[in-house]
Amino acid sequence: FLEEEDGGSTNSEFDDLNKRILACRRCDLHLTVTNKVISKGSNHPKVVFIGEAPGKNEDETGVPFCGRAGKLLDKMINYMEMKDGDWAVINTLKCRPPENRTPTTKEIEICRPFLTEQLHLMNPTVIILLGNTAEKAFGESVGWGELKKTKDGKMLLKIFHPAAMIYKREREQEQYAFLDKYKYLWTE
Ligand code: URA
């Protein structure tokens, strides 16, 4: 008998996946990390945000988006007026690339099965890609400002990665206007 939460997937299914992520040695990134970084937020969210890869702070704590970019993501989540159980944050890679370099195509491919499994267990209605690496990993292209329905019926959006807003602050207002437009997806 497995305990079951409202979303269908059981805690033991998440535990099993997380154990396999922690044990993964499929590429060399595991050699240089302090912690692997799996997820934060709900196991059964309406909205899943997909980032790129852990940075220095995330590597130190094991928590995604806990540094400077994370502050902007928190602000955005707050702006979106979602309840605590409504969202989750995961990354394309679970291991920090040295010096925060961009993940290689090979690393994205090697790590993709974990991303796919996380999305399958979480079964969100909305997937928000934070920038181009997440889009590449997810495998469906979507323009900025465009809402797309995936093959399995999920609503897909791509927005600026919070780190990209740090470099160009005017993007924050554009981002918020975009989120206003699609607010009905997570508030109704
Ligand atoms: N940037 C990301 O893409 N992910 C994190 O977890 C932190 C910063």
User: How much distance in Å is there from the Cα of 69 to the middle of ligand 1?
Assistant: 7
pLDDT band at residue 5 under the 50/70/90 scheme: low
Q: Which domain holds residue 16?
A: 11-187
34 in a structural domain = yes
Q: Which atom of ligand 1 is nearest to the CA of 37?
A: 6
5 in a structural domain = no
Structure tokens at 6: 């409202």
Any bridge partners for residue 158, and if so which?
129
List ligand 1's pocket residues with C-beta within 6 A.
51-55, 58, 64-65, 69, 91, 163
DSSP state of 80: T
User: How much distance in Å is there from the Cα of 65 to the middle of ligand 1?
Assistant: 5
DSSP state of 65: T
Domain CATH for 142:
3.40.470.10
Report the domain count for the chain: 1
Residue 9 in this model has a pLDDT that exceeds 70:
yes
pLDDT number for residue 7 = 56
Region 23-39 average pLDDT: 98
154 in a structural domain = yes
Q: Which atom of ligand 1 is nearest to the CA of 131?
A: 3
2 in a structural domain = no
Residue 4 in this model has a pLDDT that exceeds 90:
no
User: How much distance in Å is there from the Cα of 50 to the middle of ligand 1?
Assistant: 9
4 in a structural domain = no
Are the C-beta atoms of 178 and 145 separated by less than 8 Å? yes
6 in a structural domain = no
Region 81-87 average pLDDT: 94
